[in-house]
Amino acid sequence: MLVFLLKKVIDTLPTLCALCVHREGQQLTTTTMTTITQEQCDTLAKCHQLITTGYDDDWHELYLDPADASITLTLQSIADLKNNDWNEASGFCEEAHEGCAVLYWETVQGSKGDERASLTVVDFGQFRAIYR
């Protein structure tokens, strides 16, 4: 019986993880989180190259695909991310590239004990993609 229950939980886990709750006014709604496309991954790579090096010519060297573990999707707004209460963060740089707002931190530590890393955020409208 336990094996059957565990299998059911494991089978439904991707669906549960794909659901994201956000607030619209006072009403809570459940929305299926969008997955990032290869075209959006390419835009994210170009934006990261441009903001870190000043050039986007070599963006192909930073190949990102939708299954890349270094990409996180969020429904947080750009304003929320700018005002995030990071444990430690360098000042951020804000630009626009290919019609998308882009934020970049050279070093960010999300919470005490986390590894410090650079962070690039690209606003795709429906969601923000974060590359770490």
- Signed CA dihedral, 11, 22, 92, 100: sign only: positive
Question: What value does the mean pLDDT take over residues 34-60?
Answer: 89
**pLDDT for 57 beyond 70:** yes
- Return the domain boundaries, the chain: 35-131
Question: pLDDT at position 33, please?
Answer: 55
With a threshold of 0.85, does the pTM exceed it?
no
Cα angle for residues 131, 67, 62 (degrees, 5° grid): 50
pLDDT of residue 7 exceeding 60:
no
69-85 average pLDDT score = 89
Phi, psi of 33 (to 5 degrees): -70, 135
Q: How far apart are CA 65 and CA 73, in angstroms?
A: 13
CA distance 33 to 60: 27
Segment holding 72, helix H or strand E: strand 71-74
What's residue 5's pLDDT? 43
User: Is residue 123 very low, low, confident or very high in pLDDT (cuts 50, 70, 90)?
Assistant: very high
